[in-house]
Amino acid sequence: MIDATARRRIAVLSEELLPGNGRQPSAVDVDIGGAPLDRLLMSRPDLEDRLVLIVERFRNCEPVTPAAFIETLCPQDHRLLFTVICGAYFLVAEVQQAIGYTGQQALTPSRGGFGAEELTMKQMELPKRYRDPPV
């Protein structure tokens, strides 16, 4: 379980990664260490243990800036940290609205050739062929 101290450290790291701009809020503005993080970890509980280890290492290196700490991470931990922070960030409705994401929508594909229909139609137009059943 991620405690309040770890959540604050995640917020500090996320501020370095997602500082926001004129259009999009920063990760701290959307309380990335709160409900968004919980939502993400609910769908990906396998990330929690490694995330806690990364945050603990950051605690032990606390005089170091977040940017310097992030640069020291191995590629797997770097990817995990980015996955968690960015994943939680893009779950926030305010962020989705800022980037114009309306969610996944079912689209009906055009019927022109979907699923190799054109091949099936050609086959149906050919003369009938019969085989003798095996004996």
Residue 111's pLDDT band (cuts 50, 70, 90): low
Closest CA to 13 of 80, 53, 76, 58: 58
* Residue-wise pLDDT tens digits, 12-66: 999 988 998 888 999 989 999 999 999 999 999 999 999 999 999 888 876 788 8
Q: Phi/psi of residue 45, each to 5°? A: -65, -20
Whole-number pLDDT of residue 93:
92
Whole-number pLDDT of residue 60:
80
Rounded to the nearest integer, the mean pLDDT of the chain is 86
In angstroms, the CA 44 to CA 39 distance is 9
Whole-number pLDDT of residue 1:
73
Q: How many CB atoms lie within 10 A of CB 20?
A: 16
